[in-house]
Amino acid sequence: MDIPYTVEERSDTGLFNAKLGIWLFLASEVMLFGGLFSAYIFLRFGAPDGAFHEWGQELNIPLATLNTLILISSSVTMVMSWASLKLQDIKKYKLYMGLTLLCALGFLVIKYLEYTAKFDHHIFPSTNTFFAIYFTLTGLHGLHIIGGMIVLFYLWIPGRKMWESQPAQFTNRIEIAGLYWHFVDLVWIFLFPVLYLL
């Protein structure tokens, strides 16, 4: 007896299992980052007037803007890879998934440059509470990018053989991986103004 609704939708809920699972997971992620954002607010209110803004001047806004664009592009290519599978076009899928991974890599490289620039200027998490929360939030976000890349890479090359045997389930996998990827993108969309611009 197989577990029902792994591929097809249950008629009264309109969901397949993994889709509900990933939404629940994302709900918990919202609470995780919500906890950290509330820590940010708490610390900002506790800091001397204007201190957070002043400390934030050290950050490199052009690089972060570029990173925002890269990450948004990766979300677009992620959707395109899923759409390609829906159109039965595995070649296009490979291309778009590859591009998504490339964007993710680009994001990490830029983040690495930002981090090392900070370290060169002797700015560390222990410098002040702004950089404490900056490194924690962006570090945790970076870990989410890396975790996502591992999954996407698996789906790009080794996991792709599932396309031949169970195309519908494989397409579902890309969809839920995509939902996660968009979430990670969305977190950055919040991080960028909160950390760099405010």
Partner 1 sequence: MSSYTHHDESFYRKYIWSTDHKIIGLQYGFTALFFLLVGFTLMMIMRWQLAYPESPVPLVGSIFWEDGILLPEIYNSLGAMHGTIMIFLGIVPLAVGAFGNYLVPLQIGAPDMAFPKLNAASYWSYFVGGIIMMSSFFTAEGAARSGWTSYPPLSVIEVGQTLWLIGMIFLITSSLLGSINIITTIVQLRAPGMSWMRLPFFVWSQFVTSFLLVLAFPPLEAAAVLQLMDRVAGTSFFLPSGLVVSGEILNVSGGGSPLLWQHLFWFLAHPEVYVLILPAMGIVSEVIANNTRKPLWGYKSLVFAVVFLGFMSFIVWAHHMFITGMGTTMSAFFQTTTMIISIPSVIILSALFISLWGASIRFNTPMLFALAFLPMFGIGGLTGLPLGFAASDIYLHDTYYVIGHFHYVVAPGTIFGLFAGIYYWYPKMTGRQMNKFLGKLHFWPSLIFMNGIFMPMFIQGLAGVSRRLWDGGLEYAHASGVLQWNEFMSISAWLLGLAQLPFIFNVFYSMKFGEKVGKNPWDSTTLEWTAPSPPLPHVNFEKIPEVYREAYEYSVPGRKRDFTPQTVPKKG
- Residues at the interface with partner 1 (CB under 8 A): 1-6, 10, 13, 15-18, 20-21, 24-25, 27-29, 31-36, 38-39, 42-43, 46-47, 124-129, 132-133, 135-136, 140
CA distance 189 to 194: 9
Task: Decide whether 4 or 65 has the Cβ nearer to partner 1.
Answer: 4
- Phi/psi region, residue 137 (left: phi>0; alpha: psi -120 to 50; beta: rest), is alpha
> DSSP string covering 38-58, please?
HHHHHHHHHSPTTHHHHHHTT
Q: How far is the CB of 89 from partner 1 (least distance, A)?
A: 26
Q: How far is the CB of 177 from partner 1 (least distance, A)?
A: 15
Task: Decide whether 39 or 90 has the Cβ nearer to partner 1.
Answer: 39
Q: How far is the CB of 36 from partner 1 (least distance, A)?
A: 5
Q: How far is the CB of 4 from partner 1 (least distance, A)?
A: 6
Within 8 A by CB and 6+ apart from 50, the residues are none
Query: Do you know the residue count of the chain?
Result: 198
CA distance 69 to 87: 27
Q: How far is the CB of 6 from partner 1 (least distance, A)?
A: 8
Task: Decide whether 24 or 189 has the Cβ nearer to partner 1.
Answer: 24
Amino acid letter at 61? I
CA distance 24 to 16: 13
Task: Decide whether 101 or 137 has the Cβ nearer to partner 1.
Answer: 137
Task: Decide whether 33 or 107 has the Cβ nearer to partner 1.
Answer: 33
